[in-house]
């Protein structure tokens, strides 16, 4: 698996050679473009936050009675933690989990899910290297350059299957419903600029 995927649509479909001549640190994306990108995601996700996704998502990957819980589950109901939670001396969550990295959009009071992942060990997954950490760093830096504020947080859903195979099915189902822009399965949908790496 390629660790970092390059994307050439950095809100500018005409400049395909962009990454060959520039480092991401030098990219300046305007506030207007960032807001438009966020609004597209809000438009999709806000309906799911409000109504659930049973009428919008693909057919269920599960045949169990947990189907209704998955479809009405709302990540906003989970406790938000700072992304640095793993540095705390006391562990907040342990064991299997599906986690959601979110940002609260200040101007609209909406939240967007940027990434969905699964883990066998909630207290250890966010330590060390993680592609999503790089994307979040790029995202935060880009918004800072555009004088925009981020309120990033991570939320853990612990009421998930213990078996890895079933938990990954749940993760994929949630990704296909919410379409978080930093997951590799959905990056192309939103032309996400923050997932491109430095040369």
Q: Are 179 and 189 in contact (CB under 8 A)?
A: yes
Q: Are 6 and 22 in contact (CB under 8 A)?
A: no
To 5 degrees, how large is the angle CA 77–CA 179–CA 52?
45
Is residue 68 scored above 80 in pLDDT? no
Give the model's confidence band at 117: pLDDT under 50 very low, under 70 low, under 90 confident, else very high: very high
pLDDT of residue 26: 57
106 or 103, higher pLDDT: 103
Give the model's confidence band at 188: pLDDT under 50 very low, under 70 low, under 90 confident, else very high: confident
Nearest CA among 79, 22, 73, 17 for reference residue 49: 73
Give the model's confidence band at 126: pLDDT under 50 very low, under 70 low, under 90 confident, else very high: low
- Rounded Cα–Cα distance for residues 11 and 129 (Å): 27
97 or 9, higher pLDDT: 97
Cα-based distances in Å from 76 to 5, 80, 102, 161: 29, 8, 9, 20
Is residue 52 scored above 90 in pLDDT? no
pTM of the model: 0.75
pLDDT of residue 9: 39
To 5 degrees, how large is the angle CA 74–CA 77–CA 32?
75
180 or 83, higher pLDDT: 180
34 or 90, higher pLDDT: 34
Sort 144 into a burial class: Cβ within 10 Å, 0-12 / 13-18 / 19+.
exposed
Q: How does DSSP classify residue 110?
A: E
Is residue 47 scored above 70 in pLDDT? yes
Q: How does DSSP classify residue 104?
A: E
């Amino acid at each position: 698996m390629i660790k970092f995927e390059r994307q050439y649509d950095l809100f500018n479909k005409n400049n395909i050679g962009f990454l060959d001549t520039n480092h991401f640190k030098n990219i300046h994306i305007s506030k207007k473009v960032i807001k438009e990108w966020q609004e597209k995601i809000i438009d999709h996700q806000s309906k799911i936050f409000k109504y659930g996704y049973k009428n919008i998502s693909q057919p269920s990957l599960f045949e169990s009675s947990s189907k209704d819980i998955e479809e009405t589950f709302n990540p906003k109901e989970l406790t938000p933690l700072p992304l640095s939670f793993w540095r705390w001396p006391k562990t907040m969550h342990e064991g299997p989990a599906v986690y959601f990295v979110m940002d609260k959009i200040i101007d609209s009071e909406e939240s967007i899910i940027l990434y969905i992942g699964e883990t066998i060990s909630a207290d250890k997954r966010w330590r060390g290297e993680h592609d999503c950490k790089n994307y979040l760093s790029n995202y935060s830096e880009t918004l800072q350059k555009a004088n925009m504020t981020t309120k990033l947080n991570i939320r853990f859903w612990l009421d998930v299957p213990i078996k890895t195979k079933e938990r990954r099915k749940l993760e994929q189902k949630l990704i296909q419903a919410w379409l978080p822009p930093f997951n590799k399965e959905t990056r192309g949908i939103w032309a996400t600029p923050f997932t491109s790496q430095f040369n």
